[in-house]
Amino acid sequence: MMRYTGLIACFFLLHFFALGQKVVFLNNKGDIPRNLEPRDTLDYTNLNIHYRQLIRKDKLFPGELTESDMVLQIGRQVSKYANYRFLVNDSIISEELLQPEVHAVEIMNRALIRLKKAGDRSIVMKNYPKGQYWVQIPVLLNSYIYTEKEPVFDWNFSPDTLTVLGYLCKKATCLFRGRYYTAWYAPDIPLSNGPWKFNGLSGLILKVEDADRDYSFECTALYRVDWKSPIYLSKRKKDIETTREKFRQAEKAAMNNPNAVIGNSGLVTVPKGEKIVTKILPYNPIELE
pLDDT on residue 99:
73
- What is d(CA 60, CA 55) in angstroms, rounded to the nearest whole number? 13
pLDDT on residue 9:
43
pLDDT on residue 170:
98
- What is d(CA 88, CA 103) in angstroms, rounded to the nearest whole number? 20
Tell me if 214 sits within 8 A of 284, measured CB to CB: yes
CA-based nearest residue to 68, from 78, 81, 56, 53: 53
151: cis peptide before it, omega within 30°?
no
- Give residues with Cβ within 8 angstroms of 185, minimum separation 6: 169, 170, 172, 194, 201, 202, 203, 204, 205, 206
Beta bridge partners of 223: 48
- Give residues with Cβ within 8 angstroms of 168, minimum separation 6: 161, 186, 187, 188
pLDDT on residue 116:
72
CA-based nearest residue to 281, from 259, 250, 249: 259
- Give residues with Cβ within 8 angstroms of 158, minimum separation 6: 170, 171, 172, 173
Tell me if 214 sits within 8 A of 58, measured CB to CB: no
- What is d(CA 122, CA 196) in angstroms, rounded to the nearest whole number? 9
Residue ranges of domains in the chain: 4-265
The answer on pLDDT for 29 being more than 50 is: no
Find the mean pLDDT for residues 123-146.
Answer: 94
Q: How confident is the model at residue 27 (pLDDT cuts 50, 70, 90)?
A: very low
Residue type, 23: V
Taking the CA atoms of 28, 30, 32 and 37 in sequence, report the sign of the dihedral they define: positive
Share of the chain above pLDDT 70, in %: 75
Q: How confident is the model at residue 281 (pLDDT cuts 50, 70, 90)?
A: confident
Q: How confident is the model at residue 87 (pLDDT cuts 50, 70, 90)?
A: confident
Q: Which residue has the higher pLDDT, 196 or 141?
A: 196
State the DSSP code for 119: -
Q: How confident is the model at residue 106 (pLDDT cuts 50, 70, 90)?
A: confident
